[in-house]
Amino acid sequence: MNASQTERPDPPATEVAVRMEVARDLAIAGGQLALGYFRREDLEVHSKADTSPVTVADRSTEQFLREQIGLKFPSDGILGEEYDERPGESGFRWIVDPIDGTKTFIRGVPLWGTMVAVEFAGRAVIGAMSFPALDEHIYAATGQKCWYQQGDSAPRLATVSAVDRWEDCLFCVTDAASFARQGRGDVYAAIEGSAWISRSWGDCYGYLLVATGRAEVMIDAIMNVWDAAALQPIIEEAGGTFTDFQGNRTIDAGEGIATNGRLLEKVLDVTRGT
Where do the domains of the chain lie? Answer: 4-157, 166-271
Residue 1 has pLDDT above 60, yes or no: no
Question: What ranges make up the beta strands (E) of 59-135?
Answer: 77-80, 92-100, 113-120, 123-131
Residue 2 has pLDDT above 50, yes or no: no
For the segment 141-152, the average pLDDT, to the nearest whole number, is 96
Q: Read out DSSP for 175-226? A: -HHHHHHTT-HHHHHHHHHHSSEEE---THHHHHHHHTTS-SEEEESS--HH
Residue 257 has pLDDT above 70, yes or no: yes
**Residue of 142, 145, 121, 148 lying closest to 13 (CA atoms):** 142
Share of the chain above pLDDT 70, in %: 97
What's the alpha-carbon Rg for the chain, to the nearest Å? 18
What pLDDT does residue 182 have? 87
Residue 8 has pLDDT above 80, yes or no: no
What pLDDT does residue 50 have? 78
What pLDDT does residue 4 have? 47
Residue 34 has pLDDT above 90, yes or no: yes
Residue 226 has pLDDT above 60, yes or no: yes
For the segment 45-63, the average pLDDT, to the nearest whole number, is 89
Indicate the average pLDDT of the chain. Answer: 93
What pLDDT does residue 274 have? 52
Which string of b and e fits 27-42 if b means at least 16 CB within 10 Å?
Answer: bbbbbebbbebbeeee
Residue 47 has pLDDT above 90, yes or no: no
Class of domain 4-157: alpha beta
**Residue of 220, 221, 191 lying closest to 203 (CA atoms):** 220
What pLDDT does residue 7 have? 64
Tell me, yes or no, if the two domains 4-157 and 166-271 fold the same way. Answer: no
For the segment 189-217, the average pLDDT, to the nearest whole number, is 94
pLDDT level of residue 3 (50, 70, 90 thresholds): very low
| DSSP three-state, residue 93 | strand
Cα torsion 99, 244, 169, 214: sign: negative
The structural architecture, per CATH, of the domain 166-271 is 3-Layer(aba) Sandwich (3.40)
pLDDT level of residue 128 (50, 70, 90 thresholds): very high
What pLDDT does residue 30 have? 98
